[in-house]
Amino acid sequence: MKFTVIRENLSNALNVVSKAVNQRSPLPILSNILIKTEKGMIQLFASDLQMSISASVGAKIDEPGEITVPAKIFIEFVNQVNSDKIDFSLSGAVLKLSTDKVNATLSGIPASEFPVMDRPKKGYEVTLPSDLFSKAIQKVQYVVAIDEGRPVLTGIYFKITKNELVIAGTDGYRMAEYSFGLQNAPFGIKEDEVVSCVVPAKAFSENIKAFAGKSNDMTFAIYPENNVVTLKVDDYVAQIRMIDGEYPDYLSVVPSEFSTSIVIDSSEFSNGIKLASIFARDIGNMIKLVIKDGVIESISQPSESGSNITKMSADVEGEDIAIAFNAKYLLDFVSNQSSSGDIIFKTSDPLKPVLFSVNTEENYFAEGKKINGFKRYFHLIMPMKSSW
């Protein structure tokens, strides 16, 4: 194997595929990156068996071949070396790297030992604007569970139909759903067909961040027969194994009727929550929203450290009510919203789920034609039982 590649292009690709490298694996090969030549390109592969990432980089190929090399030292060298191009040549299991001033060698492991990323065949595929898809994942992934006690709750739920893509997450105490209509039916899906899956939230969101900015569009696909999903952006492909298990029917806990509705400026609501949370950190992290006589207040529980009451201007319709929340849940919600626009929340009882939403609507256009339209986003939080 012998080739020459632009250092910057190689560095960018390595920083993406490194997300799938497992440095702590008992299998040494999983700490390596596979390098393989293919039709004027080099292919880079990394895998931890649950997730695999590949990237293609243009190169001048003089001799074909393949080898795996230790990811950590390989990436550090490429990122640090000060040269526009790097020459590579393989001799046995030793990969030689050279520039006009630097020479180095890496001891490799034969490519035959590397776990192959099988290419799934029958799937359901949808292409979306990258910024839209990234935003949808961002507004959902932070509510998933961290505790592995119920693995299915550590994942993001996806559902594809002919006209809609639904993305949701929950940890049992809060949930969020982001869904939008599709002008063109996803590839492979039939009339009235519903395809769903649960994907590890951490792995998926890391790939979304790594792929962001690589292209205007992302292609997401579900392969039920292979139990994997893929995310593709130009020359980058991530393949992630699904989480087994039935996802809970989260929509069954969404209230259908409300006695109180509040519309409030998002920046004012965010500031009121943050002020109350300062005093709530050492006393169970509980704060209370009190709606009375058309006024809303955020209140921290009185303690030895002090207390706080912040009045906020809002449009209130319906009955007076006081609801206690875990401050972290409210902070997570407001931190993932735009600082402009309004937040809407509706409730009917101090101990029933509270429905939050935003009043923004977004449409995406290509050459003057609507390709995807925002449908709805909502966030549900379970209140806490309060004795004060």
Domain boundary among 252, 270, 297: 252
Residues 143-153: pLDDT tens digits?
999 988 899 99
Contact between residue 357 and residue 376 where contact means Cβ atoms under 8 Å apart: yes
With a CB cutoff of 8 Å and minimum separation 6, the contacts of 112 are: none
193 domain residue, yes or no: yes
Residue 388: inside a domain:
no
pLDDT single digits (tens) 99-145: 999 999 999 999 999 998 778 888 999 999 898 899 999 999 999 99
pLDDT in tens, 280-333: 887 788 999 999 988 999 999 877 778 889 999 999 999 999 999 999 999 999
Is pLDDT of 239 > 90?
yes
CA 363 from chain centre, in angstroms, equals: 21
- Angle, in degrees to the nearest 10, between helices 266-278 and 327-335: 150
* Consecutive H or E run containing 77: helix 71-80
Query: Confidence band (pLDDT; 50, 70, 90) for 373?
Result: low
**CATH number, residue 65:** 3.10.150.10
238, two tokens:
């991530």
- As a whole-number percent, the residues of the chain with pLDDT over 70 amount to 96
Co-location of 233 and 269 in the same domain: no
Query: Where does the pLDDT of residue 26 fall: very low under 50, low under 70, confident under 90, or very high at 90 and above?
Result: confident
Give the mean model confidence (pLDDT) for residues 12-20: 95
- How much is the pTM? 0.91
Residue 63 counted as domain residue: yes
Please give the tally of structural domains in the chain.
3
In a domain, 262, yes or no: yes
Residue 222 is predicted with a pLDDT of 97
Angle at 74 between CA 69 and CA 75, to 5 degrees: 135
Mapping DSSP onto H, E and C, the string for 102-153 reads: CEEEEECECHHHCCCCCCCCCCEEEEEEHHHHHHHHHHHHCCCCCCCCCHHH
Q: How sure is the predictor about 371, in pLDDT bands with cuts at 50, 70 and 90?
A: very low
Query: What is the domain extent for residue 247?
Result: 124-252
